[in-house]
Structure 1
Amino acid sequence: MALPLLSIFLFSSLTLFSLTESKLNIDYYNKTCPQFDKIIQQIVVDKQLAAPTTAAGALRLFFHDCMVGGCDASLLISSNSFSQSERDTDINLSLPGDAYDVVTRAKTALELQCPGIVSCADILAVATRDLITMVGGPFYSIRLGRKDSFESYAKDVEGHIARPNMTMDTIINMFASKNLNVQEMVALMGAHTIGFSHCSEFSKRLFKFSQTSESDPTMNPTYVQALQTLCGNNTKDMAAFNDVMTPGKFDNMYYINLQKGLGLLASDQAMIYDQRTKPFVELYAKDQDAFFKAFTHAMEKVSVYQVKLGKMGEVRRRCDVVNQLLVNPNKKIGG
């Protein structure tokens, strides 16, 4: 007797999921590149000590990569004469060079030790995790075996990465499209406990906010004054820490700040007023362990989002260019 259509669909979906899970595993490089973890850890430690903003930059780089077409290192590809890549869109131009550099250094070291084995996507995932742990955040397991994408297009970015001026409805729907629920979204926003944002991303909250208020009334007045001094005279290239209290430590202070009107970005501060997100902000402000647990779960989920396996991708020899262009620089890749 023929299986019902729904049963066939569910069977196919579960089979595909099982195949994906079986090809990604934490021991993926144990035999082919046994020094994998040690090499990345050493590169990460050296880089973070030399440039303390590396952890925040790598976390943003990882997230911006995964949210557009999955965790496939497409964001690392440089633009060429045929097309503009993801890394050159406006929202990615502020990603710090240190974040790209830590991946490049790790890739170079791994190519010397085990050439052609470790993907840039796996390097980015593990380096990000190690950097988060180094600045006080939780350790979480990462299943390995991702392949790198063959292409990267700037046109694919818009609508997949949250912007500070977006409504909470828009942001929630954006995360939902990646199979991430509200609680997971709030936990991932906690990444703003480290790093900084440029004045151009929040200055609208400081000057001529509305006809009745010069600044956003949801902000702490003393905080507003300090930021107005920083961002005055159109100094949009200046930047402020996302977490004004413990900017270099991965902790739950970000959520505590939101309760005090110390959220830097409008999209951050809005979470304390929206009834869908407020309970999770309050939970994580009160309980750092709950935040770490939720963040770990969400990052593990993001890290396997639409990963490329087998012939769907490749192991790039250089993270900034696909292998075909290394052989033939004049070849047009993709559409």
Structure 2
Amino acid sequence: MAVVPQAATRRRPDLMLAVAVVMLVAHALPRGGNAQLSPGYYSASCPTVHGVVRQVMSQAVMNDTRAGAAVLRLFFHDCFVNGCDASVLLDGTPTAPSEKGVGANAVGSKNGFDIVDTIKTQMEAACPGVVSCADILALAARDSVNLLGGPSWAVPLGRRDALAANPSGAASDLPGPDSDINALVAAFAAKGLTSQDLVALSGAHTIGVASCASFRTRVYCDANVSPAFASHQRQVCPASGGDGSTAPLDSLTPDEFDNGYYRNLVAGAGLLHSDQELFNNGPVDSTVRLYSSNPAAFSSDFAASMIRLGNISPLTGSTGEVRLNCRKVNS
């Protein structure tokens, strides 16, 4: 059975010494108001914002490397539905259903919600009513990557929080594990992201795990799969039952944010059908090959794509609010 990461890798300090810090600033595409996001948005109002997020994420990743994957996943799932507005963090009420438990949000995120709650509690103690949950999630996603050996970047800030969730968007907009390349390209294009963004951001699957239910069809039915890889994963994932069993998305270096994901794809060892679709004699094969052999190119492009992802329709100006509790709108 594949081993699920239980604790942070002891090699992380060495990895972090080698991390290239990518300082990238992009313009925002605000939904409400004319303001643009800026890395220095909280310089005067909450100068400790970066330290608070970093400290909580450092402890979380030290306790369990999967914490980083959970938070990074939440950020992606937030931005892909209604833009980066923390709508994914809202709990449901009798009159306002949430995005939680809908579609691709149904599994794998609980740990991420709890971490964001911890950050928010400490942020409110340091800077009451100042830092939005949407910005906390953006910073926590960046730190999740960096703490596991990946790049860093200057996160544009100044988002506000949504007043409602969009469960129908969560059901329709998030790509699923069985998506083909055309569906993936179309889903990203609908958010203003390119096919290169698709390949770069999919590299987030170099950390984290997937459930048997998500990859059973891949290892039992797909033709473009390494026989040895499929045989190994079938030990984790029986043909029936065991839906909750998990395997690392990157079988080479599951605790490290590196280019192992792409090396897996070139070897026919992508865990999800949607992963292997990126390297299946299709339009993005050349980008996968580049990232599989050039980790610096992947790191740089991933950082740039994360900024573009974070600029999807943020709420700014007088729209939205700064939630005091990320799970509910202010009363």
The TM tier, using the shorter chain, reads: 0.7 to 0.9
1:114 aligns with 2:127: yes
1:331 corresponding residue in structure 2: none
Aligned-residue offset at 1:75: 0.1
Measure the CA separation in 2 of the matches of 1:39 and 1:305. Answer: 25
2:59 corresponding residue in structure 1: 46
Task: Please provide the CA RMSD for this pair.
Answer: 1.8
Give the share of equivalent positions with the same residue, in percent: 35
Residues 12-53 of structure 1, C-alpha deviation per residue, up to 9 Å, x if partnerless? Answer: xx9987x97854211111111121111111111111111220
1:255 corresponding residue in structure 2: 262
> 1:56-95 maps to which residues of 2 (within 5 A)?
56-95=69-108
2:232 corresponding residue in structure 1: 226
1:328 corresponding residue in structure 2: none
Number of residue pairs aligned between Structure 1 and Structure 2: 303
1:9 corresponding residue in structure 2: none
> 1:183-202 maps to which residues of 2 (within 5 A)?
183-202=196-215
For 2:301, give the aligned amino acid. Answer: A
> 1:18-37 maps to which residues of 2 (within 5 A)?
22-37=35-50
- List runs of 5+ in structure 2 lacking aligned partners: 1-26
Q: Which has the higher contact order (CA 8 A, sep 6+)?
A: 2
| TM-score w.r.t. length of structure 2 | 0.88
Measure the CA separation in 1 of the matches of 2:210 and 2:101. Answer: 18
1:295 aligns with 2:308: no
Provide the secondary structure at the position in 2 that maps to 1:197.
strand
Provide the secondary structure at the position in 2 that maps to 1:166.
coil
Which range is displaced more, 271-280 or 288-297? 271-280
For 1:321, give the aligned amino acid. Answer: K
Aligned-residue offset at 1:143: 1.0
1:123 aligns with 2:144: no
Kept after mapping to 1: 8 A contact 2:56/2:119: yes
Residues 117-155 of structure 1, C-alpha deviation per residue, up to 9 Å, x if partnerless? Answer: 000000000011011000011101111110000000311
- List runs of 5+ in structure 1 lacking aligned partners: 1-13, 210-215, 325-335
Measure the CA separation in 2 of the matches of 1:21 and 1:189. Answer: 31
Kept after mapping to 2: 8 A contact 1:261/1:269: yes
Provide the secondary structure at the position in 2 that maps to 1:158.
helix
Runs of 4+ in structure 1 off by over 3 angstroms are 14-17, 19-23
1:311 aligns with 2:324: no
Decide which structure has the larger Cα Rg and report it: 1
Kept after mapping to 2: 8 A contact 1:197/1:241: yes
2:293 to 286, 289, 292: 286
> 1:254-273 maps to which residues of 2 (within 5 A)?
254-273=261-280
| TM-score w.r.t. length of structure 1 | 0.87
Residue 271 to residue 77, structure 1, CA distance change in 2 (3 Å): same
